[in-house]
Amino acid sequence: MSALSRAASCLLRARRGASTVELALLSPILMVALAGSVDCARLISTKIRLQQAAERTAEMASAGSVASAAFTSLQSEAATAANVPTSNVTVTNWLECDGTRQDAFSGTCPDGQQVARFTSIAIASLYSPSFAWLLRSAGVNGIPVSGSASVRVQ
């Protein structure tokens, strides 16, 4: 048996350093999985923040009267609470007469019908993950995230 074949068979039987090589091969995969988990956690945190801001604004709407200053500034309050521009907040008011949605919030219902006024707050934002360059290469600017709440105000 030649010296070369003896060296090759010795290398095939050797196990020292195998775990180091395995770790070196798996480390990039583990790091990507960790980064993805962190991004998912940040996305969920953003969703919760928007949802809580919408719910807080809905509570403000129900706390005061429909004619109060707080009720007229719901959009700016929601934007401040969510830390987004006011253009990302939609406040919708509507009137229901016996469960049928009407066009005018300040209108009245015919006699004998149950009157209900509602306010809905929707907050939208774009979440930009740590690996945003991957999304941009696919033509996506961010991940849309939203929070919403509705409340009866009368």
**Residue 121 β-bridge partners:** 91, 149
Q: If you average pLDDT over every residue of the chain, what do you get? A: 85
Q: What is the mean pLDDT of residues 70-82?
A: 87
CB 111 within 8 A of CB 81: no
- Between CA 34 and CA 43, with CA 40 as vertex, the angle to 5 degrees is 145
Query: Would you give the DSSP letter of residue 117?
Result: E
How are beta strands 143-152 and 100-102 bridged, if at all?
unpaired
**pTM: predicted TM-score of the whole model, two decimal places:** 0.77
Cα separation, 17 vs 116, in Å, equals: 73
Rank 15-19, 75-79, 134-138 by mean pLDDT and report only the highest.
75-79
> What pLDDT, in 10s, does the model give residues 87-132?
999 999 888 888 888 878 788 888 888 888 899 999 999 998 887 7
